Amino acid sequence: MKNRHLFVALALLLQAVPAIAEKADRDKPIHIDADRVEIDDAKKINTFYGNVILTQGTLIIKADKAVVTQDAAGNRHATAYSGAHPVYFRQKREGYDEYIEGEGDRGEYDSKTDTVELFGNAHVKRGKDTVKGNYISYNSNTDFFRSEGGAKTPTGRVHAVIQPKKKEGQKASAPVSAPPAMIRPSETLASPPQQ
């Protein structure tokens, strides 16, 4: 009976992990480590407590507590809570040789909309680009980010760093140095008045 409950919990988590990146991750086994798990089949709620570490392929999620629920249509919602450390996720992006990773005080994933949300001290890094804010939302279907500032940011505003993208086949160029400036008298300006 316990194995059946653990299998149900794992199946729910399989559907609850974000599809931000590697689609092949969905076919990989899920590994979950936690200090304790509670499964309520009647309410379709699974709660993992204490140093929760979920891995599936290139995906890793770390939290102090994770709650996974399922609605009548089979859509899953996962909420990860921070404790001594922020909620953290990392996953390889589909078709790119880079990772997307983020952290916050709380993280939520909705399988119906394929949206990941980070609340409080949110920070997301994709390649060399970064976004920091009080709230960050990312839709993996549309590759759309949204961020908001707030009280839990140093300035109350969103801060983003977006690196220039190289065109395919373009090499990094060396800085171009300008020739030294030549000082010459002007031919068009009038001479200052004589006193």
DSSP 62-91: EEEEEEEEE-TTS-EEEEEE-SSS-EEEEE
Query: Is residue 124 within 8 Å of 139, Cβ to Cβ?
Result: no
Domain ranges of the chain: 2-161
Contact call for residues 101 and 90 (beta carbons, < 8 A):
yes
SS3 labels along 84-141: CCCEEEEEECCCCCCEEEEEECEEEEECCCCEEEEEEEEEEEECCEEEEEEEEEEECC
Residue 92 is predicted with a pLDDT of 82
The CATH superfamily assigned to 2-161 is Lipopolysaccharide (LPS) transport protein A like domain (2.60.450.10)
Q: What does the pLDDT read at residue 80?
A: 93
- In the chain, which stretches have pLDDT less than 50? 1-21, 186, 189-192, 195
Residue type, 43: K
d(CA 144, CA 138) in angstroms, rounded, equals 6
- Tell whether pTM > 0.75: no
pLDDT at 179: 55
